[in-house]
Amino acid sequence: MPASLKNFADLKSLRGALKVQEEARIKAEAERRQIEKKAREEANIFRASVGNVAPLLTHDKVSLHLPRPEPIARQHLADEQAALAQSLSDDFDVESLLDSDDSLS
């Protein structure tokens, strides 16, 4: 009980506050019960629609563990093909020969 109660008016206001709190608690409890009731009803509807179920038998299944193929280094292959194509090309730049070796010029 709060120490600030000095007269009956304070008691009356405290009684009103406690009454409001009790009404809020009762309302919250009713809402909680309503939500629980709806959840139970939905669960019952689900059980009724699904019916009796049993797990599937899995002992007749074969589990295949095939070895995974080796990875293909696609970028390495692309680099090799590009180098081969470049080495077989007839196109050459005279400027690059002049810049690279003075004895050839």
For the stretch 19-73, pLDDT in tens is: 999 999 999 999 999 999 999 999 999 989 988 888 887 777 777 888 888 888 8
Q: Is the pLDDT of residue 90 over 70?
A: no
Dist. CA 31–CA 35, nearest whole Å: 6
Residue 65 CB burial class (10 angstroms; 0-12, 13-18, ≥19) = exposed
Find the range with the poorest average confidence among 6-10, 23-27, 32-36, 75-79. Answer: 6-10
Q: Which of the four pLDDT bands, split at 50, 70 and 90, describes residue 98?
A: low
- For residue 104, what pLDDT is reported? 53
